[in-house]
Chain A
């Protein structure tokens, strides 16, 4: 018997707007919120929505993502008849190409979907932080007898021109789609979450692939074509927390949102738990010198300094006299004695040397993965340091 729904998670984005954070990592594997990675959110949503077949489409720096997803056990996706599979592009005979676009990525993996012969396919993007019950969206799709259902989110009107905007009639049927319109008619932004009937989607993908003029993209080609052909397109409005974390600023902001009281995004809901591959570390330790306010701290941290309005990931070391403010310190980073870190993202395994100063008022400063800043380094606001560029700027005599 076929599955009801298969999820295809588009995780191929290079995430170039995240700068040094995605130098060695695909964007969905970027850490978030103390112990998670971006991809934990769609994967946990799938698991909590009862979807147990997930294809993860990726073609950029797959090593870390592959290792992270493994068998899918942390998300309870290592099931007898379910799976989470990383699907990179591959060669068949003499042909075979990189994923040309989002639709092409699914086209190239139609055999994966066909193995499960589902009624519906839900297409997800791996760039957002949100909790959504996909089974409810599928139920709406089913009830309305739609050919395609698209999740939409009300963005502020002034930002609407940065999104794909869905204009709907009173019953919630999509009548028009505008990609990044200069003069938006509504603020219903597409969340990049689509539900299709598998049989129809299959035909659309094959036809789209045979069209040499197509850019093989859902937003640019498939959705406009379905609209032109008068298919029943339904908007599924979502009003929870939804945040694109595609830029340094927005990634930092989404982390800070967790610190609001009450948090803008609630991770404490035990009925909709976000799962992650957990490193096994002892609880974190706060020394007698430590001072922590309005912050999140994870297992394995050793805090001897001051932490204000910040998120510390697992295994972070904060030495005596160090001050961290409004910052995101990722897994196993070390902030050495008397260093000051403000409005910054310090990436995994990075070391901020003694008496260094990172960030300050202005744009977010970033210290890349594994960078070892020598003592007395200065990283100015908005500056990004990766492993090659690190040099002892501003070193005092």
Chain B
């Protein structure tokens, strides 16, 4: 896939995660003990042989830039191409504040124009799956499509939850013939992953035409209205796919990783997910620690009881604590005797002695960054 570059659009649905995305975009959300959401998409691209990635950022992009740096950890600090972070700025071409994907990409048309590759993979950043894009591109070339949309078929349970999703109907050849956005009752079970592949020249044409007509939203203004005029095909993605649409789905993502099959598939084999290295010390279990069915990152010190939980780097769990069904992010400290159940604690939160916090699976308690309870 040498002849392809990537465009990742961050932050369009950042309000769904409440406190957790107050100071960061979903792309920068920590998950699975040591990763951030963007790591998976970037690793997918790198494992596909894509060496030129543009990251269109909008609000709250500081955490993201801090995490990505030069792109070294993803092998994207290259002499030619590499990782380009494209923050908003206000000029004639760039509106500074984007109302949709078309708008955001149009504002960065200079980067797109300069990219030497023939094809472009465009994706959002609130979805997780581990794949390479080779089959995706291969189908796009074979069908001579204008746009190929990657989709999957979620299970019944996921389909029942309300969220802003794009449902697709394909004919026998895989060509998309109908599109519904955010229906209350969906007609088609196939759901777009918001990952698209196009010829770069077609994308540029699309952006210019859309800008000229004041169209900003890719789903509404291109997929829906042009479905009969353009050759738009669907490409089915198999395997584990997780959309981050709410606190609950974020919570489920972390809990899903306690399953070895899902963990391996999403994070390590055959394509390991790269992330920033922090040089933490191995985790330490003191006498009296009891840990079961949990993921524990380096730098943790555990003296109490932990069950069905994900502990990020450098978490402390004191003596006599009971931590159940929790997600504790980097640097969280739980003092002796505290009891937590169904809690998502953001970075460096501090839970004092003997506190009791009990959430529900359908509504986990969220503790914001640096909070002291």
Contact = CB atoms under 8 A, between A and B. Distances in A.
Given A286-B293, A288-B292, A299-B34, A280 B281 contact: no
B314 to A, nearest CB: 9
Nearest to B258: A285
B260 interface: yes
B82 interface: no
Interface stretch (A16-24, A91-99, A214-222, A289-297): A289-297
Interface centre among B72, B277, B297 (most CB of A within 10 A): B277
Contact of B295 (A268, A276, A284, A291): A284
A296 B34 CA distance: 18
B127 interface: no
Interface in B322-347: none
Given A276-B279, A302-B260, A282 B286 contact: no
B186 interface: no
B274 interface: yes
B182 interface: no
A282 B295 contact: yes
A261 interface: yes
B283 interface: yes
A286 B298 contact: no
Interface string A229-272: 00000000000000000000000000000000100000110000
Given A33-B282, A297-B296, A298-B283, A292 B267 contact: no
Interface centre among A292, A294, A300, A311 (most CB of B within 10 A): A292
Contacts of A295: 284-285
Contact of A283 (B279, B293, B311): B311
Interface in B264-285: 267-268, 272-275, 277, 279, 281-285
A34 interface: yes
Contact of A292 (B72, B285, B310, B312): B285
Contacts of B33: 282-283
A274 B260 contact: no
B6 interface: no
A281 interface: yes
A321 to B, nearest CB: 15
A377 B264 CA distance: 30
A299 B297 contact: yes
A299 B288 CA distance: 21
Contact of B287 (A74, A284, A294): A294
Contacts of A285: 258, 260, 263, 294-296
A273 interface: yes
B366 interface: no
Interface centre among B277, B284, B310 (most CB of A within 10 A): B284
Interface string B72-110: 110000000000000000000000000000000000000
Contact of B273 (A35, A261, A274, A280): A280
Main secondary structure of the interface of A (DSSP, over half): loop
User: Which of under 10, 10 to 19, 20 to 34, or 35 or more describes the interface residues of B?
Assistant: 35 or more
A278 interface: yes
A287 interface: yes
Nearest to B32: A282
Contacts of B288: 293
B283 A284 contact: yes
B369 to A, nearest CB: 19
Interface string A55-80: 00000000000000000011000000
Contacts of B260: 285, 302
Given A278-B277, A285-B258, A293 B295 contact: no
B289 interface: yes
B236 interface: no
Nearest to B264: A282
Interface string A294-318: 1111111010000100011000000
B168 interface: no
B351 to A, nearest CB: 20
A120 interface: no
Contact of B292 (A34, A273, A286, A294): A286
Nearest to B267: A282
B296 A286 contact: yes
A107 interface: no
Nearest to B292: A288
A281 B268 contact: yes
Given A290-B291, A291-B290, A292-B289, A282 B282 contact: no
Contacts of A292: 285, 289, 291
Contacts of B32: 282-283
B289 A267 contact: no
A196 interface: no
A300 to B, nearest CB: 8
Contacts of B293: 286-288
A8 B129 CA distance: 47
A1 B167 CA distance: 66
Contacts of B285: 292-297, 307
B286 A261 contact: yes
Contacts of A268: 281
Given A274-B279, A285-B258, A297-B285, A290 B292 contact: yes
A41 interface: no
A386 to B, nearest CB: 27
Contacts of A35: 281-282, 298
A286 B282 contact: no
7 contacts: A34-B281, A261-B286, A281-B268, A282-B32, A283-B295, A283-B297, A292-B289
Interface of A: 33-35, 73-74, 261, 267-268, 273-276, 278, 280-300, 302, 307, 311-312
Chain A to chain B: the 5 pairs with minimum beta-carbon distance, closest first: A34-B282, A283-B33, A283-B297, A298-B282, A296-B282
Given A74-B277, A292-B285, A300-B268, 16 more contacts: A35-B281, A35-B298, A261-B286, A268-B281, A273-B279, A281-B268, A282-B263, A283-B32, A283-B295, A285-B260, A285-B263, A287-B293, A293-B286, A298-B283, A299-B297, A299-B298
